[in-house]
A and B are shown apart, each in its own frame.
Chain A
Amino acid sequence: MLRKLLKHEWKSVNKVLLPVNLCIILITIVGCTVLNTDIFDTEESWPIALFLLIFYVLSLMTFASITLIYIYVRFYKNLFTAEGYLMHTLPVTPIQLFHSKLIVGFSWSAFNCLLTLFSTAALGFSAIVAVAKEENIDHISRFFLDDPIVNNRNQTFSFSEMFGYPPATFLILILLLLLTGCLVSIIMGYLSILLGQLMEKHKLAASIGFFIVIYFFMQMVTSIAILLPNSNALVNAMDNDTSVYFMNIFYRNLFPASIISQIILSAAFYFASCLLVRRKVNLD
């Protein structure tokens, strides 16, 4: 039955989220094409370039928000409004319903995050290629191959020395951070909606209230998890004169702490959600 639920959930969600995410691909292609022309070579065109950059960033933020909000709205509308009368009378268990929403919601959220990362990387790469027409492209590519390079303050450093990890490990950690971030966001939204259902009245408003409370709680936990164990290292790094050394310490400690705290929060939110889902529905 879970497979059937997933099939129909995909079908419904794709209708909305496929066009939204195709827009990201479209603006990326347009952006890369524009960057590879010479229209921004003159100083007069820089305000337009700045405007397009702001438009691009705002577009990515809008598409990411639409994706996440739609996933939350879909969960609420499909399970706790009129459509819930159909979903909760299907011969499936409440936990199967929850898992189908979680799998599809997480998959779309992760896809959106990866697409955003890919879009930013593609535009960044296009910009580097465009700039490197005038400067030395070897300099940049050597940096991404983890070879030492010299900056304009005559400091010599490699990618590993700057970011604390070799480029491939750094990329894997960014991906892990994004995926755990997507997972915790989706479950946090679902948990807020499920908590809102415990209220006698104003369930939607209560869900929004729970979301805000859980969001601040999550931010607090994550900040403590990142800063507390690493406070000495970060203070020492700040005392050190080189910003490169500070970034190294910062990233080396930030990634594992963030990823682990997000996994722990996801697990906690997931088990809380499962408990609430098993509590059985009351569609007033």
Chain B
Amino acid sequence: MTLIECNALTKKYGNFTALSNLDLQIESGHIIGLLGPNGSGKTTLLKLITGLLQPSSGTISINGEPVGAASKSLISYLPDHTYLDRNMRVRDAMDFFEDFYQNFDSMRAYEMLAQLAINPNHKLKTLSKGTQEKVQLILVMSRRANLYILDEPIAGVDPAARDFILNTILSNYDENASILISTHLISDIENILDEVIFIQNGNLHTHASVDDLRQKEHKSIDTIFREVFKC
């Protein structure tokens, strides 16, 4: 079943074209790596899908519906920075998600907090940046969403935290759901990906199955990426 469909999707910032005429279809039940160098348009694409940006032209549909309040209830989005009010306690953030998302599993979220020894009564601003990111990931992955959009979930955290994050992603998502992960750290996530999308200068370069690409090129995705985007 098609989860995301982009037709001739274009986004311009003034004279700069961040995404150009992008046609893309993403099916349910896959983990997809959205890969590309800095400024290639990855974050722009994710923000268009989540409704944080409006396309200059073209269309996007989520489960056949245009982006709106209904599509937002299907998507669980982790941006590349902290988006919670830092004066909130961790418990307040849990209550917030529980109130707004019917598919939020608070028991699971509290279990994950306990595993990481994060005190729910602590204010977010008293936690380290890495711990704040973990809290945010726990919130996002504790939803039973149809689509998880994770923008650079492992950037800026130590290798041990990366393992936790990847483990959290893998052990918490529903198999019928899809995960779209944007990252530069390909070698760390390569093994969990079903598909990859390469974006270059706002254009779709490659959209293929990871296994097919590896078999065809006889190289790892990381190596292919380095060759495609060689400076």
Contacts and interface: CB of A to CB of B under 8 A. Distances in A.
Interface string B72-94: 11010101011111011000100
A99 interface: no
Contacts of A154: none
Contact of A283 (B14, B47, B82, B96): B47
Contacts of A86: 83-84
A242 B92 CA distance: 62
A92 B70 CA distance: 8
Interface stretch (B20-28, B49-57, B194-202, B210-218): B49-57
A223 interface: no
Contact of A1 (B53, B75, B83, B100): B100
Contacts of A90: 72, 100
A200 B53 contact: no
Nearest to B52: A283
B214 to A, nearest CB: 34
Contact of B83 (A15, A85, A91): A85
B69 interface: yes
Interface size class on chain B is 20 to 34
Contacts of A1: 100
B51 A91 contact: no
Interface string A177-200: 000000000000000000000001
Contact of A88 (B52, B84, B101): B52
Interface in B163-184: none
Nearest to A86: B83
Interface string A150-181: 00000000000000000000000000000000
B73 A91 contact: yes
Interface in A232-284: 280-284
B99 interface: yes
Contact of B85 (A12, A280, A281, A284): A12
Contact of A4 (B50, B75, B77, B100): B100
Interface of A: 1, 4, 7-8, 11-12, 15, 78, 82-86, 88-93, 200, 280-284
Given A84-B52, A86-B83, 12 more contacts: A4-B99, A7-B99, A12-B85, A82-B79, A82-B82, A85-B79, A85-B81, A89-B72, A91-B69, A92-B72, A92-B100, A281-B53
